Amino acid sequence: MARMTMIEAIRDALDVMMGRDDNVVVFGEDVGYFGGVFRCTQGLQKKYGKDRCFDAPISEAGIVGTAIGMAAYGLRPCVEIQFADYVYPAYDQIVSEAARLRHRSAGDFTCPLVIRMPTGGGIFGGQTHSQSPEALFTHVAGLKTVVPSNPRDAKGLLIAAIEDPDPVIFLEPKRLYNGPFDGHPDRPIVPWSKHELGEVPTGHAPIPLGQAAIRRAGTAVTVLAYGTMVHVAEAAAQETGIDAEVIDLRTLVPLDLDAIVRSVSKTGRCVVVHEATLTSGFGAELVSLVQEHCFYHLEAPVVRVAGYDTPYPHALEWTYFPGPKRVGEALRAAVEAV
C-alpha cells in the first residue's frame, strides 16, 4: 500500500498499465511534455517515450477519432480531454463510432478506448470548466461510464477501464484531485500544496466495473451518490445524525442495481444526489429504477437533490451544487415522510 492523492493514483494506474502492455498509449492536449494541466501524466513521456505518451493538437474530435482508429487496430489508447466541458466537439466520434463499433461490425472490431476527463465544480472554474455531463454518456448504448470518489478507486477503476474491451468514459471529479474535502461548501479550496492522501494498493490492482461500495452503513434511508457527492452525503448524514446508508455507485454504466435494491429494500427510503443539473440527470434514471424494483418496500417518495437548471455560475457555485445543508434537508424529508 502507498498513500497517494487522486492525481498520483491516476498517474500510477497509467504507469502500471503502460509497463504491463506496450499497446497502451496515452495522449491529449498538453499530456506529454507538460504532464497534463492537472499533472496526471507527469513523467510518463520521459519514462515511456514520445511514441507512447505524446501531445495532441487542440482538437477533441481529432483526439478521439485518432484513438478510435488506434483501438480498432489493436492498441489500447487512454486519452485525456482537458476538461469534460471540452468534449462536445468529440461527441459525434464517441457516440457514432466508438460506442457502435463492436455492434456495427458484428464483433469483428472492438474499441478498447478510455477517455479521461476532469469533471464537476468546486474550483471556481466557471461555466466552461465545471460541467458534469455524465448523463450524456450513460444514455448511449455501448459506452461505460465511471466516476471514482477516492484515490484507491481512481487507480483500480482506471486499470479495469483500460483492460476493458469496450469504450469507457472515465470522469475524474477535479474537486477531489488534491483535496482535502469533507463535504463542506463554505470552506475555501485548499491550496494544491496540501494533499488529501488515500491508501492505494501498489502494482496491478484493478477494481471491477459495475460494483458499488457502501461508504456508510445505515438503516433509516439510502443515499445514492457518486464522485464528489459521496463526501457531501457522508457529511450530511454525520451533521444531521440520521442513520443513512451512503452507497457510492462508482460506475454508472454498468450499474450495480443489486446493491441499490438490497439497500433500499432494507431502509424503505431513498435520496439520490448528484452535482449535475436536475432535469434529465442520471438521478432520474436512479429514481425510476428504485421505483420499479423497490416499490413495495418504499415508505416514502424518493427524493432528488441536484444542481439547479441553470448555466453553471462562477461566483455562486457553492450555492449551485448540493452541500450538506441541502442534502441534510432531503434526508429529513425522506425519514419524516409518512
Active site residues: 129
CA 292, CA 287: separation in Å to the nearest integer?
9
Element holding 289 (H helix, E strand): helix 282-294
Question: Phi, psi (5° rounding) for residue 18?
Answer: -65, -35
What distance, in Å, lies between the first and last C-alpha atoms of the chain? 47
Inter-CA distances, 16 with 40, 54, 55, 289, Å: 13, 17, 20, 36
What is the distance, to the nearest Å, from the Cα of residue 307 to the centroid of all Cα atoms in its chain?
16
Pair 138, 282: CB distance under 8 Å: yes
- Length of the chain in terms of residues written: 338
Pair 177, 201: CB distance under 8 Å: no
Question: Phi, psi (5° rounding) for residue 281?
Answer: -75, 170
CA 52, CA 203: separation in Å to the nearest integer?
20
Pair 241, 96: CB distance under 8 Å: no
Q: What would the grid cell of residue 45 be?
A: 513521456
Look-up of cell digits 466520434 = 93
Q: Work out the burial of residue 284: count CB atoms within 10 Å of its CB; fewer than 13 is exposed, 13-18 middle, 19 or more buried.
A: middle
CA 174, CA 131: separation in Å to the nearest integer?
11
CA 253, CA 215: separation in Å to the nearest integer?
19
Q: What would the grid cell of residue 265 be?
A: 429494500
